[in-house]
């Protein structure tokens, strides 16, 4: 009897052991590939082990999905950024690059994977930026380094680096060509303003010193007469400074987006005639022939003051650059697309093609002596450009050396008013 029980217990133990081995095998297969094999249906300690492992796997799976989703969103965001973003390892090899990297640097992903960044973008100064070392307290990552694009030497890029992980560095490259150009224009502007104000101030100061010296000397009969020319020069230079300040103030208002434009109905032929009347002494002195062909029904909606300033600057420039007894033409017309054009043409010295793009810059002069003799401030065409922009109009300049120049202002149809 005892032997029979022992045999049954042995069979039961072997069966239990076999079941445990089977359960563990099922658990192993499920852990190895949970997608292929279902969660084993078990009980006891093995069931508890199954349950804890399942929780851990589900938690890791959810975390993996979150990380994958985050990386997907990050790459989508990086792809649409206007900047170039490149990840490099500790050896300077490219591990990832966004879409704009090809546009700015010529780096193609994934074709250029594991290629050294320095081999594609060659500039000795970049070695400082590409260092994987962390930034020191006195280093500013926002500044970076400026260099010329390897694809276009006229394009200026700014490069910065940031520690991205233990073994990766993020390189951010931005196109700063426009900012560099603006900074250069600002420097030129300050230099030109200083130069424009220096000349009349020097004249005023010199004559004032002479007059002070003469007031301390014995009065002679011709003393008052000797003051006539200095006073005339001082008056002329002070008027020039006043014009310069007025033009600067007017230009700053035009550039201010908060400066509201008055909406008036401006009759162009009356406006042009008013300008010519104010310039009549200058026209007579130079014996200039003015040919006028104006559309009688042309009315532009906008600011009378701004349009007067723009057209008077164009006509005054034509007079300044036209030789004695020359000819200028002023014409307006309504175009087939219902837009309107106003053209001022002269037969003066003309302008080189290389200089035309810079004509509307502040204080840019083709001929300094001729422009200053004419009383110009160097801001006329800058004012014209901003006035036309505020009226949704465009300025087209055509010129050839020795054959005169033509300035054409085109206003869109919605700015033209029918009688």
Q: 306 near 254, Cβ under 8 Å?
A: yes
What does the DSSP assignment read for 86-128? EEEETTSBEEEE-THHHHHH---TTTTTT-BHHHHS--TTHHH
Question: What pLDDT is stored for residue 214 in this prediction?
Answer: 65
Question: Residues 151-188: pLDDT tens digits?
Answer: 888 788 888 888 888 888 888 888 888 888 877 776 67
pLDDT on residue 201: 72
Helix pair 228-255, 177-216: axis angle to 10 deg: 160
Residue 1 is predicted with a pLDDT of: 58
Q: Between the CA of residue 393 and those of 259, 261, 330, 340, what are the distances in Å?
A: 18, 14, 18, 9
pLDDT of residue 20: 66
Give the Å distances, CA to CA, from 416 to 50, 88, 260, 297, 338: 81, 58, 20, 10, 8
3-state secondary structure at position 35: coil
Q: What is the pTM of this model?
A: 0.53
Task: Write down the pLDDT at residue 375.
Answer: 53
What is the structure's pLDDT at 5? 67
Cα–Cα distance, 348 to 361 (Å, whole number): 21
- The average confidence (pLDDT) of the chain is 78
Q: Which residues of the chain have pLDDT under 50?
A: 134-142, 368, 372
Which tens digit of pLDDT belongs to each residue from 73-113? 777 776 677 788 888 888 889 888 888 888 888 888 888 89
pLDDT for the residue numbered 136: 43
pLDDT score at 135: 44
């Amino acid at each position: 009897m005892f032997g029979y029980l022992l045999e049954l217990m042995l069979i039961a133990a072997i069966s239990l052991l076999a079941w445990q081995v089977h359960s563990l095998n099922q658990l192993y297969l499920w852990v190895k590939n949970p997608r292929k094999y279902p969660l084993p249906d078990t009980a006891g300690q093995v069931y508890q082990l199954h349950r804890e492992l399942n929780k851990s796997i589900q938690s890791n799976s959810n975390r993996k999905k979150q990380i994958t989703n985050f990386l997907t969103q990050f790459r989508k965001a990086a792809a649409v950024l206007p900047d170039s973003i490149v990840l490099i390892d500790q050896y300077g090899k490219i591990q990832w690059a966004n879409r704009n990297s090809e546009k700015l640097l010529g780096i193609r992903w994934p074709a250029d994977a594991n290629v050294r960044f320095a081999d594609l973008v060659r500039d000795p100064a970049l070695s400082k930026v590409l260092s994987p070392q962390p930034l020191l307290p006195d280093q500013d990552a926002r500044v970076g380094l400026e260099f010329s694009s390897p694809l276009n030497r006229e394009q200026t890029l700014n490069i910065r680096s940031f520690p991205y992980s233990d073994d990766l560095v993020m390189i951010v490259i931005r196109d700063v060509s426009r900012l560099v150009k603006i900074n250069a224009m600002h420097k030129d502007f300050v230099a030109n303003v200083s130069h424009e104000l220096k000349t009349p101030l020097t004249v005023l100061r010199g004559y004032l010193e002479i007059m002070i010296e003469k007031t301390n000397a014995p009065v002679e009969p011709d003393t008052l007469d000797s003051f006539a020319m200095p006073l005339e020069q001082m008056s002329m230079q002070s008027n020039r400074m006043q014009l310069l300040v007025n033009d600067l103030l007017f230009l700053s208002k035009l550039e201010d987006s908060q400066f509201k434009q008055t909406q008036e109905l401006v009759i162009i032929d009356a406006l042009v005639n008013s300008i010519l009347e104010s310039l009549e002494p200058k026209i007579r002195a130079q014996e200039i022939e003015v040919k006028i062909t104006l559309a009688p029904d042309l009315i532009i909606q906008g600011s009378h003051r701004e349009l007067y300033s723009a057209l008077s600057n164009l006509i005054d420039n034509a007079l300044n650059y036209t030789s004695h007894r020359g000819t200028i033409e002023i014409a307006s017309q309504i175009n087939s697309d219902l837009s309107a054009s106003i053209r001022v043409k002269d037969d003066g010295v003309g302008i080189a093609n290389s200089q035309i793009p810079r004509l509307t810059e502040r204080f840019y002069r083709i001929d300094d002596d001729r422009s200053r003799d004419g009383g110009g401030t160097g801001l006329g065409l800058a004012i014209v450009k901003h006035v036309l922009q505020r009226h949704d109009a465009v300025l087209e300049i055509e010129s050839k050396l020795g054959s005169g120049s033509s300035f054409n202002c085109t206003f869109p149809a919605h700015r033209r008013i029918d009688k």
